[in-house]
Amino acid sequence: MNISRLAAAIKESPTLALNEEARVLRQKGEPIVHLGIGEPKNKAPISAILGSTARLNTGEIKYVPTDGLPSLKKAIIRYTEENYGRYVAPENVIVTTGAKQSLYEALFAVVNPQDEVIVLAPYWVSYPDMIRMVYGIPVIVKPEDGSFVPRIEDIKQAISSYTKAIIVNSPNNPSGAVYPEEFIAELVALCESKGIYYISDDIYHKLVFDGKTAPPAWKYTNQDVENSHVIVTNGVAKLYGMTGYRIGWTVGPRRIIEAMTNIQSQITSCPPVVSQSAAEGALTGAQSVVENLRLTIQNNRDVLMQAMRTFTDVITIQPDGTFYALPDFRAYNGNSYELAKFLLRKALVVTVPGVAFGMEGHLRLSFSGTAKELNTGVERMKWALDPNAPNEIYLGDRKLIRDWM
């Protein structure tokens, strides 16, 4: 069987195999603790549920404009005003089937074959493959060891005459890092001066802790949205816990939004209208749901950090945002895939290998679940890895003795 060269170049997610193994174990009744999850646990906001049921009750579930329901676009325009202080026109906004589709279409709109797109490590797994899917070349810039923020000097070094765009995700999946203000300011200035598109993935922008904020790219350019190289993607998945509705959006110069709309018209026609009504409900309803989620997650972050501090030789940089931490496990095993497999088989804990995010030797731990899961998960990992931890443990109601050290 022949598949295309492009399809062959797109790798299977390294997390899929482990997730599948975990699913089978759970189905067999094993007490799995899942720290690999990329979504909050909360129920969808009531305003979103009411929005979608009101739409369903009309029975009018049809195609709508490719770039999104005008009323949802209006809500996004207001969101952009309130959260970024930017006034944009409907032509600057496209609604998509998730931030993922937004990012893919934005790349599709600006990248020519062999153009380079800079990706900052640690990075969200999908960026390099999305870039390859538009025949571009991902150029990874890594931070210095022990940091999650690459140096501006290294980014400058990575820029070539082929550089078309850079993707910036802060707060960052997988590290939980919030890039500092000076960093964002310098990067935006660099991109504006060189004509490089600055694609800002703001999907976690309000999930920031301890009174901090994530500096938004638009703050550091004097250009209006129409003339700026800043393109901002966002969505309802993470802030409202509405991952299954699949609604995201992009705000940017109208020429780019128009190109994205043309692309979208040929692949999905429009995002599902029931989901758009739900997203509109979320954006126009009580915003306390976001703050409540943020507080729960901040508390989880504290629980995780307290547990990780007792873990000999694992270095955990405290996350300032998202619901992920990326501890450095190299003292135990430099191969993150092998380590994640070991932890799943021995301790029934699911983690995500850092190699998937360009950070070998680290594991991504999600703290979107419950405090109890976090404490149990860390206790089990310590039992499996740390010779100083007690060598007996209960996994569910089964008592196990560590016999591999």
Q: Which residues bind ligand PLP (CB under 6 A)?
A: 38, 98-100, 124, 169, 173, 201, 203, 235, 237, 243, 248
Cβ proximity to ligand PLP: between 100 and 330 the closer is 100
Find residue 377's DSSP bridge partners.
none
Please name the residues in contact with 296: beta carbons below 8 A apart, sequence gap of 6 or more: 42
Are the C-beta atoms of 178 and 171 separated by less than 8 Å? yes
Cβ proximity to ligand PLP: between 39 and 154 the closer is 39
Distance CA 315, CA 327 (A): 6
| Phi, psi angles (nearest 5°) of residue 403 | -125, 25
Cβ 56 to ligand PLP shortest distance, Å: 22
Q: Which residue has the tokens 């699911």?
A: 350
Cβ proximity to ligand PLP: between 15 and 316 the closer is 15
Cβ 136 to ligand PLP shortest distance, Å: 18
Count CB atoms within 10 A of the CB of residue 77.
Answer: 18
Q: Helix (H, G, I), strand (E, B), or coil: what is residue 96?
A: strand
Cβ proximity to ligand PLP: between 99 and 106 the closer is 99
Distance CA 359, CA 135 (A): 24
Are the C-beta atoms of 52 and 274 separated by less than 8 Å? yes
Among 50, 36, 63, 49, smallest CA distance to 324 is for 36
| Phi, psi angles (nearest 5°) of residue 83 | -95, -20
Cβ proximity to ligand PLP: between 200 and 336 the closer is 200
Please name the residues in contact with 299: beta carbons below 8 A apart, sequence gap of 6 or more: 371
Cβ 193 to ligand PLP shortest distance, Å: 26
Are the C-beta atoms of 201 and 103 separated by less than 8 Å? yes
Distance CA 148, CA 216 (A): 18
Cβ 39 to ligand PLP shortest distance, Å: 8
Cβ proximity to ligand PLP: between 38 and 136 the closer is 38
Cβ proximity to ligand PLP: between 173 and 261 the closer is 173
Cβ 2 to ligand PLP shortest distance, Å: 30
Residue whose Cβ sits closest to ligand PLP:
98
Cβ 20 to ligand PLP shortest distance, Å: 18
* Strands, E assignment, 36-92: none
